[in-house]
Structure formats: structure tokens, C-alpha cells
Structure 1
Amino acid sequence: MIRVALIGSTGYTALEVARLLLAHEEAELTVATSRADEGKPLSEIHPSLAGRCDIALQPFDPAAIAEQADVAMCCLPHGASAESVRDLATAGVRVIDFSADFRLSSVPLYEQWYGVTHPWPERVGNVVYGMPEFFGDEIAKADVVANPGCYPTSAIMPLAPLVRAGMIQTDDIIIDSKSGVSGAGRSPKLGTLYCETNESISAYAIASHRHGPEMQDLIHRIAGKPVDVLFTPHLTPMDRGILSTMYARPVLQDNDTVQSVTSRLMDELRKTYRDQPFIHVVDHLPATKHVVMTNHVQMTVRVSGPNDQPGRVIIVCAIDNLSKGASGAAIQNMNVMFGIDQMMGL
């Protein structure tokens, strides 16, 4: 049985980890920590766990956690997580980090976008990105895994294979994403109050969202080609889910038509993900309802153009931001790390 520690237990991602572990046949939650709520049962923080997961919240003590857990799910905020990850890894606990502290490939890039000095800089660029579809062999051996961002997952999954195959131009990629309110976290904020978000949709962090450089960095690492991404996120009045619509220019061949380009792009995605159980290249237009409460991804391609002349490639991808965009991906990564079926518990 894989013993799991939950570090920082009060947020939505922590609740989702606990919920998923209750159904996991080969893993169990043995430790949960919280600096603010030490001593309280986890079910007092998350009432939906009452009678199912009532373990008491402990202080953060890496040595004690190492005696009780094989892997830690670190759900602490960006900038605060890296030090705890370092201490846990040093104590011999394998770690899946939910923050962005180890996702990017360089310290200057991280410090530019997150505005803090990294406490474990020698590991930046040396931590595997937690996307088993591309980095499964590295994840299996890793002591620390950087769990992917939610928006980046919805963009990287469809874009990286097409960039790698040279099928879309890399200098003009537009990503328009819409997310449920849970993506903003559980802490109260004016912009995510019910009266602010209900019956409304709004753009935010235009040309300044921290997930933009993560998308560029990871597509480059996977595809081996730099890309120029323009990313705009939107907040939508739903609990969970992300729908990303991406626009790019196709790389054309002689006598290409809208149909031929569409078929070629869809075939490339199907070839890339034919052995990946969570990724589905579909003919219909994906919607968040199709993937909510699951670790599954749906994506498809359309091509626009007058008189059957290809103009723009339009890619649509749907994920659940709390599952494949966070906690489900972490469970999938844990399964790969410990050599069991990656679908277990999912």
C-alpha cells in the first residue's frame, strides 16, 4: 500500500486528492498537515469527507512525515512550496508538487514571473514535468515531480504534438481559455465572490498570466521548437472545468484543402495519443460537461478557410481543472512513480 501525505490540506486540490484516494485500491492517505488548523480532523475542514476521512491535521515535520508516508502531495502556494518540497525530498519522501515552483526550466524565468527568490535553485530545470503522456519514464524514477498547471495542460496536450510534427506555424499561436471559479482557489477574494461571477464572464491577466510562459516553455521542451504564444484566460460562472480554444496557422502542402489539413492534424493527434488512456481525440466539439469530475481530456481540430482554402487551424480542448488539471494528474503521476496501472483510482 502506498502511504500518502497531504501537505497543505485546506484547498480544493487537497480535497480532490483526499476524495480520489478514498477510491484507490493501492494507496491511502496517512498524513495531512495544516499550519493554521493543526489538530482538527480533515473532515472539519472539508465536511464532504465526514465519516470517510477524519484523520487529524498535523504540523509540518519532514522527519515525522518520512516515517508515515512514501509520497507527499504538496498543495502549498507558489513561492511557499519549494522549501517544503526540498525538506521532504531531503528526508527521503518522494514529492508531487502542485505549485509552479519547479515547472519552469530556469531560475531567471521563474523569478521574473513569480517575483520571489527561489529557495532551491539548483533543482529548477532538473525536476520532471508531471505529464506522463510525454515524460512517463522520467516520472517513474523521480524523487520530485512538478505537477502541471491547469491551463497549460489544456494547451500543451493538443499543441505540442502538432508543433513537434511541424504541422502548425510557431510564431502566431493564440490560446483563449475559460475556467471555472475553483481554479482561483478556496480563499475568499472579491473577484470570485458569487455576486461578482454569477451570470458573468470576464477576461483577466491579459498578456500577463503566469501560465503563458509555462505553456511556451513546455511546448518548446516537448517539441524541440520555440513558440510564440498569446494567452488570454477567462473566468466563467461554473464550479470546475476548462475549455481552451487555440488558433494557429497551418503548414501547408501542395494542393491542400480544408479537409486534407483537418485529417492530417487529427491523424497526428490520434497517433500521438493512441496508447494514452486519458486522452481522447474526438470528432465532436468537446465541452466541460464531457470531462467534469474525470481525469480525461477531449480534443478536436477544425480548419477554417474560404472556398476550401485552409486559413486558420482551430483546436478545442476540454479538461477538468481540479482533476487532469491538478489532483487527478497527481494521482496519475503517483501511479506511474510506483509502477502501478496509471488509471488506478481514476
Structure 2
Amino acid sequence: MVTHDKVKVAVVGASGYSGIEAVRILASHPFVELSVLTSEHYAGREVADVYRHMAGVDLPPFEELRPDLVQDRAEVVLSCLPETVGTAHTAELIKAGLKVVDLSADFRFKDAAQFRATYGIEHPAPQLLAEAVYGLSEFHRHELREARLVATPGCFPTGALLALLPLIRRDLIEPSSIIIDAKSGTTGARRAASIEQLFAEVNENFRAYKVGNHRHVPEMEQEISAALGRDIALLFVPHLLPITRGLLSSIFMRPRSGTTESDVHAAFEASFAKSRFVRILKPGELPELRNVRATNFCELAFILDRRSETLLVITAIDNLGKGASGQAIQNMNLMLGYDEAAGLLAAAPVP
């Protein structure tokens, strides 16, 4: 049911990168009242005292997370807590009748054994895995409208799956040939002290990391395997860019015999004809991070190279936007029956 009454939304873990980005977007959302903001580090402090760019915006102060208080003061929760930290809280909130959009990996896997294999611990709330909707908005709109728990995809899977699922669904590529080369800004990691994230380590540097064991690989394999109807193994190579935010993915694959440029373009058009946030670029144009910075948009382009018999698809997203908080809010809009673009149509700040 569509309603324009303001819904009370809590952001838990609101002082991390994805949390404060969600606060920034929701502060100007036409149908939302931010009612609760939690932060274990900054409980009791005003948001503008920690993040001065939010000065002048009417916001509640940070407070400690107590699910009983959240239940009384919110209808929807965006959970921006790290993996396993908020799982028990989410289970409690769902039981109390609230809707939850989770930005961690806690509910992305359908199989508790896969979660255990990826994160090395037993899942704290396995009873919720079956009902959690994987929140890749463009491919799960119907399920999202009925959901009470949404697992927002990781940033790397979002950039890759938007490129791959349209092609797989039309059987235009050889799935075993997929190679994903992705490059992300430093906010792809958590807002926590880390030697690898120090300025002197990142500046004027460029490196691959976690090749062969990145935690997003099983997530991508799960979604692609579901589309294929059989299991698949992917080669994924993530890189760290010396920039704050943005994610550029170059995906290489072998086209099926007879696949044409028209076939590829038609696949993307069919998948994204109703999508407000995926821009299929004109021939000769290539995605750039600055065009999607601080937005929920994805730029997408492809090149079918006949000389090497390779199909290359490139996507650009903001890892905190379409790769995290923006997509979470798009999912929230769908859950509540709003226009999915509500609060999300601001243009990128270029230059």
C-alpha cells in the first residue's frame, strides 16, 4: 500500500561509513523521519559534533543500541553494523514486527553452512536465512515489496551482478570463462584503524588483495549459480584504489557462439528498461567513477571484441551508494510501497 505519511526509521551503527551515508540520504528523504541513531563509540553525542558536515540538519543524537527502545520508536531499521554484531538484535526486531534492511553479510547466504565456511562461526540466527530477500533491487522488486528482512548485497557483488545476470539469463556467455577485475576506494573497508588503510600505505599506491579468498566471492557465486541452475566457481581479483569512494568493475567473459552486440544490448535493455538507476551508455562511452560519486546510480558499458572473442562489461558505482546505503534505501522504498527512487535522485557532485 502506498502512503506518504512519514515512516519512523532507525539507523543502527549510524557512525560508520555506510551508517552516516544512510543518515545523510535519509535526512532529506520526503517520506522518512529519522527517529533513532545508534553508535557504540559516540553514544550521547550530537551527530554534528562527530560529523560536522551534518551541522544544521535536525537529527536525534547518537545513543547506545537497545532493541527494546528501537522497537518503541521506529517502524523500519537500517542495520549498518558489522557481520554478526547486529544479528541477534535483528532477530529481536523482526520478532517485534519491525522491518529490517541489513547492510552486513549476515543474511545474504541462504545456507548457514556457507556462512560458517566464509566467516568461521556458526550463524547466530539461521532461522531467518530462508526468508531474507537478497536486495539486488533491479532483480528482486517483487520479493522486496513483500519482505520484512532484506540483505543488501555487498559492493563488489552489486557491481558484478548488474553486469552478469542479464547475460546469464539469456544464455549469451560461457559462465566458466568469467573473470571479475574490480577496483574500490578505501571506504570499502570499515571505519576502523588499520595499517593497510593508512594514508602512507594507500597514497600513490595500487594493489590487489585477498585474491582467491575474498568474502564476497561466495555471495557472487550463490547468485550466479541460482541464475544458472548449477554451481559455478568464479575468479575475482579485487584492488584497492587510492581514492575515498567509488568502485569500477571490469568483467571479462567468452560470448556464446553467435552472440552479437545487438543481443548483448537487448539483454541489458530488457533487464533495466524499468530501472531508474542503471545507465546503459552509448557506444564509445565508458563508465567513470565521478559520474556516480555519492549517488545510487550505476553506469554500464560493454565491448564485444571479435579479435580476441571476449566480451567486456564495465560498471561503475559508488561503493557507499549503490554498493551500500543507497541500495539499502532503494530496498526500503520498495518494502514500504514508495517510489523506489524516493530520496535518491540527486546528481553526482561533478567536478
TM-score tier (shorter): over 0.9
Within the candidate set 129, 142, 157, 2:147 is matched to 142
Give the 5 Å matches for 1:9-158: 9-158=14-163
Counterpart of 2:193, as a letter, is P
> Which digits, 9 at most, give the CA deviation of each residue in 1:70-90, with x for residues without a partner?
100101101212112111111
Superposition deviation, residue 341 in structure 1? 0.6
How big is the shift at 1:63? 2.1
CA distance in 2, matches of 1:93, 1:47: 31
User: Against the structure 1 CA distance between its residues 262 and 228, is the aligned structure 2 distance closer, same or farther, given a 3 Å change threshold?
Assistant: farther
> What is the DSSP-based 3-state SS (H/G/I as helix, E as strand, rest coil) of the residue aligned with 1:292?
coil
**1:91 partner letter:** A
Decide whether the 8 Å contact of 1:198 with 1:237 is kept in 2. Answer: yes
8 Å Cα contact 1:79/1:114 also seen in 2: no
State the alpha-carbon separation in 2 of the partners of residues 22 and 125 from structure 1. 32
SS, match of residue 125 in structure 1 = coil
Q: Find 1:226's aligned residue among 218, 222, 231.
A: 231
Shift of 1:54: 4.1
Unaligned regions of 5+ residues in structure 2, if any? 1-5, 345-351
Query: Counterparts of 2:131 and 2:271 in 1: how far apart (Å)?
Result: 25
- Unaligned 5+ runs, structure 1: 254-259
Aligned to 1:292: 293
In the other structure, the counterpart of 1:267 is 266
Asked if structure 2 preserves the Cα contact closer than 8 Å seen for 1:172 and 1:228, the reply is: no
Q: Distance in 1 between matches of 2:232 and 2:323?
A: 22
* 2:339 counterpart letter in structure 1: D
Match of 2:194 in 1: 189
Deviations 1:251-280 (A, max 9, x none): 112xxxxxx622211221111111111111
Aligned position for 1:277: 276
Q: 2:211 aligns with which of 193, 203, 206?
A: 206
Contact 1:33 1:60 in 2 (8 A): yes
C-alpha change, 1:222 and 1:42, in structure 2 (3 Å) is: farther
| 8 Å contact kept, 1:160–1:223 | no
2:342 to 325, 335, 344: 344
Q: Please report the TM-score for the alignment, with normalisation by the length of structure 2.
A: 0.93
TM-superposed CA distance for 1:225, in Å, is 4.5
Q: 1:250 — aligned with what?
A: 255
Cα distance in 1, alignment partners of residues 318 and 339 from structure 2: 21
Question: What RMSD in Å do the two structures reach over aligned CA positions?
Answer: 1.4
Q: Shift in Å at residue 162 of structure 1?
A: 0.5
Shift of 1:222: 3.8
Who is 1:303 aligned against?
304
1: distance between equivalents of 2:25 and 2:226? 30
Of 310, 326, 331, the residue aligned with 1:312 is 310
Q: How many residue pairs end up in the alignment?
A: 337
- Is 2:174–2:253's contact at 8 Å kept on the other side of the alignment? yes
User: How far does the alpha carbon of each residue in 1:98-142 deviate from its partner, in whole angstroms, 9 at most, with x for none?
Assistant: 100100120111110111111111222331011221111111111
Distance 2:230 2:131 in 1: 19
Change (3 A) 1:54 1:277: closer
> TM-score with structure 1 length normalisation?
0.94
- Give the Å deviation of 1:223: 4.6
**Distance in 2 of aligned mates of 1:137 and 1:43:** 38
Contact 2:14 2:23 in 1 (8 A): no
Deviates more, 1:284-293 or 1:236-245: 284-293
State the alpha-carbon separation in 2 of the partners of residues 222 and 63 from structure 1. Answer: 39
State the identity %: 36
